[in-house]
Structure 1
C-alpha cells in the first residue's frame, strides 16, 4: 500500500484554511448570532421553563429601586375633550363599541387626516356599520424647542376643526412612548370608561374597519362576551436587545430577565373594557422605566394575570400583501405612511369583497393566500397559518 504524502499535506492545508475562514466569519458575526440564536434559545427556555417574573417587586412604585424607580408625572393636558364619549346629558355612553386611540407624532398632520378620511371616519362607521366608534389621537409636544410654538399653533387649528386630539405636556419622543401608552389608558378610564373595547394603533397602520367591527360583534356574542380580551400580533418569549447600538437597547439594570413577557405588537391591538381597567390599575402600581411601550404593556398585563390572544390577521411590523383575497380577512396592516387612501379604496371597493364566490372562488383565494403568506418572502406581517384560517 502506497501513501501519497503530498496529497495529505494539501488536504491538511485546505482544512486549516477552511477552519480559519470559518473562525473569522464566526468572530465577525458573533454578536448578531448571539442575539438572534443564543439569546432566543435562552429567552424561550426562561419563558417556558422558569417563567418567574416579579414585576411588582422589582418595578413597583415603592420597590426602592433607586435610579429606575421614578414616579409617573401627571402631565397637564394641553388639548383635551372630556365629553368625547359623552351623550347629551354629559354621562358616559354605554353604546360606544370602540374607543380608537391612535398614537401620532405632532408633525404627522397628513397621516391623521388620511385616517379621518378613511378607516377612522366616525360617520362612515356609524352609517355603514351601525356601531359607534370614537377616534382620538394621542400626542405630546414637539421635541424641537425651536419648532414647538409653530407646530403647537398648527395642532390647535387642527383640533379646532376636528376635535379629536388628546395632548399632554410631555416631549413626544421614542423614549416617551410608554408615557403615551399611559395617556391612552388613563384618559379612557377617566372620560370613556364604558366603551366596550379600546384599540391602540400607530398612525401608519391601516385598519380594515368592517372586518374589525365584525370580529368585535362576534366576540360580544360568545360565552365570555367582551371580557378578558387582549388580541393582536403576539410576540412570545422575545429576548431584550442588549446591543448598545440598537434603538431598542435595554440594559440589564433596567430589565434583568432574559425574556420579555408575552405582548402584542404596539402597531395595533384591541383590549376589552375590563382589560383596559386592569391595565390602568397596573400603571398605577408599576413605574414606567421601560420605555418600549408594547413591552411595558406586556409587563402590566402579566402583573394583572392577563394573557394576549393571537389573531392571524393582526399585522406585525410589515405590510399585508396587496390582494383582494387578503383584504377579505385582514384586520390591520403596518407601514402605511402614504398609501392609506389608496388601500382604503381598494379594500372597500369591489376587490374588498374578496375573490370570486363559491367553491372555486374559495379555492382560488386559498391558493393565493398560501402563495403570498407561506412561501419565503421578506414581509413580516401575517403568519403562514393565516392562509388556513
Structure 2
C-alpha cells in the first residue's frame, strides 16, 4: 500500500473508530463522568438555544463569565488541585453602547468589547495527572473539536510522549487545548465525539467557551491559569498550533544548554509589527481598539518555547492586561509587563521556511530535519514529512540552526 493510501486509510479508520465508539460510550458511561455539572440557567434574555449539557443558554453570551471574581492563585509547592471557576454566566458591559467610538465599530468587535471582561470559564475536560511526577517538557497544542485528524497525526508524530527525555531528566507529555463547538446545532454531537476521543487518549483540556478566532486569547489565559494551578514544577513548555511540524529532538538539544530558571521565551519573533488597518485582512484591528503605532515584540503563535517558571509568572501578568483579539500579540503585551524580551531563533519558522508559500523549500525534508518548528502542514503532509525526516534521508549538507 502506498504512503498516501496508508494516510487516508488511517484517517478513515480513526473517524470510524470515533463514531462506533460513541455507541459504547453512551451505553456504558454517563456524560457527567467527563463533564462537570452544568451551570444553572442564566437570567431570561433573548431567544435561547440548546447547549450540549442540556441547559438553555443565551445565544448572545459569546463570552460567559463566572459570577464570582477570580483572583490569581498564589505560588506554592503544589498549587490548589481544583479548577475553581464553576459558573458560566456573563453579562455584557452595556456602558460601552452609549459611546460614539463604540457605535462606529464593526459588530464582531462590538461583541468582543462587550464581553472582554469575561476572562475565565468552567472546565469540561481536565487532566491534572499530566503534571504529576517529573515533567521536563510539556507540549501543548491549540486545536478545535472538528480537527481530530490533526490531533491524531500529532499523536503519531511529534506529540508522542516519553517517560524520560534523557538521563536524569523528566518526561515529555502532550495536551490539546479546546473550547466548545462554534456551531450550536452540532455541539452536542461533537461533544460526544470529543468525550470518546478523550476516553481513548486522556490528553484534552476543554473549557466552556466557544472556539472562535477572537477566543484564541482565552486559550492563552486559561492554559496559563491551568499551568499555575496544576503544574508548579514543569520545567519547559512548548505551545503551538495543530498544523505545525515540530522536531522534538532538536527542541531538546536546544534546551540542553539552558537553565529552567531563565526567563526563556523563544520563537519566530516579530519586532515593531504594526496593527493592520485593512478591513479585508484577518488580523484587522480598528484604531479605537489599539491606537499605538506598533505592537510590542511577540512570537508567532504557530509555536514557541518558554520556561515553566516564566509561564507561571505570565499568568499573573496577563491578568493585568485587557484581552486582545490576537492571541500572540496579547502574549507579547504580557511579556512587556514582565519586562521580558522574546528571543528570535531561526529554527522557528511559523510562517514557513520560505515566506513564499509556493517555494519548493517549504517541502524539502532536509530543511525540516534541521528546524525546530515549521508552519504549516495538513495531517497527510505532516505524516509524510515525519516519515521522510526520520527515514533514510541523505542530505548534501547539514544546516546548523541550533
Task: Decide: shared fold, TM above 0.5.
Answer: yes
Task: Kindly report which structure 2 residues correspond to 1:243-258, keeping only aligned pairs within 5 A, or say none.
Answer: 243-258=278-293
Larger helix fraction of residues? 1
* Deviates further, 246-255 or 158-167: 246-255
Displacement of 1:329 in angstroms is: 1.9
Task: Kindly report which structure 2 residues correspond to 1:241-320, keeping only aligned pairs within 5 A, or say none.
Answer: 241-288=276-323, 290-318=324-352
Displacement of 1:72 in angstroms is: 3.4
Unaligned runs of 5+ in 1: 1-60, 87-92, 356-363, 370-386
Deviation by residue 1:109-137 (Cα, 9 ceiling, x = unmatched) = 01001101111110487589975111000
Task: Assess if the C-alpha contact under 8 Å between 2:177 and 2:204 holds in 1.
Answer: yes
1:152 aligns with 2:191: yes
Scaled by the length of structure 1, the TM-score of the pair is: 0.69
Displacement of 1:299 in angstroms is: 0.4
Task: Assess if the C-alpha contact under 8 Å between 1:234 and 1:265 holds in 2.
Answer: yes
Partners in 2 of 1:112 and 1:164 — Cα distance? Answer: 10
1:233 aligns with 2:232: no
Unaligned runs of 5+ in 2: 1-70, 72-92, 97-112, 354-360
Partners in 1 of 2:365 and 2:266 — Cα distance? Answer: 24
Partners in 1 of 2:376 and 2:364 — Cα distance? Answer: 16
Quickly say closer, same or farther: Cα 1:124–1:109, change in 2 above 3 A. farther
SS in structure 2 opposite 1:219?
coil
SS in structure 1 opposite 2:301?
coil
Task: Kindly report which structure 2 residues correspond to 1:11-160, keeping only aligned pairs within 5 A, or say none.
Answer: 67=96, 68=113, 70-86=116-132, 93=133, 95-123=134-162, 126=165, 131-160=170-199
1:326 aligns with 2:367: yes
SS in structure 1 opposite 2:184?
coil
Equivalent residue pairs, number:
286
Task: Assess if the C-alpha contact under 8 Å between 2:247 and 2:369 holds in 1.
Answer: no
Task: Kindly report which structure 2 residues correspond to 1:156-171, keeping only aligned pairs within 5 A, or say none.
Answer: 156-171=195-210
Deviation by residue 1:13-38 (Cα, 9 ceiling, x = unmatched) = xxxxxxxxxxxxxxxxxxxxxxxxxx
The aligned counterpart of 2:242 is 203
Partners in 1 of 2:168 and 2:243 — Cα distance? Answer: 23
* Deviates further, 266-275 or 244-253: 244-253
Partners in 2 of 1:100 and 1:277 — Cα distance? Answer: 15
Partners in 1 of 2:293 and 2:230 — Cα distance? Answer: 38
Task: Assess if the C-alpha contact under 8 Å between 2:142 and 2:176 holds in 1.
Answer: yes
Scaled by the length of structure 2, the TM-score of the pair is: 0.66
Quickly say closer, same or farther: Cα 1:127–1:276, change in 2 above 3 A. closer
Q: 2:397 aligns with which of 365, 379, 383?
A: 365
Deviation by residue 1:241-265 (Cα, 9 ceiling, x = unmatched) = 1112221111111111010000000
Displacement of 1:218 in angstroms is: 2.2
Quickly say closer, same or farther: Cα 1:74–1:348, change in 2 above 3 A. same
Q: 2:388 aligns with which of 322, 346, 349?
A: 346
Partners in 1 of 2:230 and 2:211 — Cα distance? Answer: 22
SS in structure 2 opposite 1:282?
helix
Partners in 2 of 1:107 and 1:229 — Cα distance? Answer: 33
Task: Assess if the C-alpha contact under 8 Å between 1:262 and 1:298 holds in 2.
Answer: yes
Task: Assess if the C-alpha contact under 8 Å between 1:129 and 1:210 holds in 2.
Answer: no
Displacement of 1:226 in angstroms is: 4.3
Quickly say closer, same or farther: Cα 1:172–1:128, change in 2 above 3 A. farther
